């Protein structure tokens, strides 16, 4: 639990986030190298009160392919939290660098429907540093409260700092078999122009999303789609069926290399609905998501 709170008067600009992030490529005094479970995360939070802009929500719906129905899509809560996450992650006192980290999961617990025009207060802190076979995981937790002080949602973004850990020697298990999947329930397409539009809407202008050269600089054959774009766009196959009170859990797999066409595969059970975005030739997952009523 955060011991002190920094109240922001406005969200950090996307330009500020980008320049601070690129600065993180360089060696920074105060950033330690290898993390351990005993590494101390900052015991503070950042807080921001926002009026949910109806025009921004409408543009977001357009770029992720959802209908603008007069409610805030569940993944838009992540977009609102992103500047606060970056403000913490890019701070000089944060023990790990944001550049090179991998966004591995999102869990959004929405306790009621949120509508454009609402005033919400967001408070974000970092916690739960733990080992993984491929590195250290940590959670950025954002609480959303309304004008009455009632909690409306909790958003958890799990990041991985890649490094060796005490778990690195453990067996990874058999590699999943790759094969051409069957016919998808729907197709999802994206190109560089669409993802650059999403970058402007979301504020995430990481170079890996902005141009093929930016993607190649980080080891990809071209630019890649934001995982959060894919996680939002796949909800079109269950549009109108997402409960007001819901847990939306997303696990990110291999990135979507642009331009791309991926298949959406839907499995429904009495308890939840699973949506998987898969490569159409080899069947590996880009995003695996579950929609579970609270």
What's the angle, vertex CA 194, arms to CA 193 and CA 196, rounded to 5? 65
In terms of C-beta density within 10 A (0-12 exposed, 13-18 middle, 19 or more buried), how is residue 165 classed?
buried
pLDDT at residue 29, rounded to an integer: 46
Residue 233: helix, strand or coil by DSSP?
helix
Structure tokens at 213: 């050269």
Structure tokens at 100: 């090179």
pTM: 0.92
The H-or-E segment that residue 173 falls in is none
pLDDT at residue 205, rounded to an integer: 92
Residues linked to residue 6 through DSSP beta bridges, in sequence order:
46
pLDDT at residue 31, rounded to an integer: 54
Phi, psi (deg, nearest 5) at residue 174: -65, 140
Q: Each residue of 270-285: pLDDT tens digit?
A: 999 999 999 999 999 9
Phi, psi (deg, nearest 5) at residue 39: -60, 135
In terms of C-beta density within 10 A (0-12 exposed, 13-18 middle, 19 or more buried), how is residue 14 classed?
middle
Q: Each residue of 29-83: pLDDT tens digit?
A: 445 568 999 999 999 999 999 999 999 999 999 999 999 999 999 999 999 999 9
């Amino acid at each position: 639990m955060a011991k002190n709170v920094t109240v922001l008067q406005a969200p950090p600009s996307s330009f500020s986030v980008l320049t601070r992030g690129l600065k993180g490529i360089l060696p920074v005094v105060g950033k330690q190298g290898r993390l351990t479970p005993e590494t101390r995360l900052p015991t503070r939070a950042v807080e921001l009160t926002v009026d949910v802009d109806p025009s921004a929500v409408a543009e977001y719906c357009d770029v992720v392919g959802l209908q603008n129905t007069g409610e805030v899509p569940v993944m838009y809560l992540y977009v609102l939290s992103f500047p606060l996450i970056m403000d913490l992650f890019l701070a000089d006192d944060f023990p790990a660098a944001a550049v090179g980290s991998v966004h591995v999961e999102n869990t959004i617990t929405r306790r009621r429907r949120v509508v454009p025009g609402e005033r919400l207060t967001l408070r974000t802190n970092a916690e739960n540093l733990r080992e993984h076979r491929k590195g250290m995981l940590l959670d950025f937790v954002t609480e959303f409260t309304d004008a009455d002080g009632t909690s409306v949602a909790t958003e958890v973004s799990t990041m991985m700092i890649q490094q060796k850990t005490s778990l690195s020697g453990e067996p990874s298990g058999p590699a999943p078999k790759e094969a051409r999947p069957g016919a998808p329930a729907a197709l999802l397409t994206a190109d560089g122009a669409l993802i650059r539009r999403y970058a402007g809407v979301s504020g995430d202008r990481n170079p890996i999303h902005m141009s093929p050269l930016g993607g190649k600089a980080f080891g990809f054959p071209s630019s890649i789609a934001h995982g959060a774009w894919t996680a939002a766009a796949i909800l079109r196959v269950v549009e109108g069926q997402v409960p007001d009170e819901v847990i939306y859990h997303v696990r990110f797999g291999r990135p979507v290399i642009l331009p791309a066409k991926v298949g959406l595969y839907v499995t429904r059970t009495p308890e939840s609905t699973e949506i998987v975005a898969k490569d159409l030739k080899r069947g590996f997952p880009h995003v695996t998501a579950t929609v579970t009523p609270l």
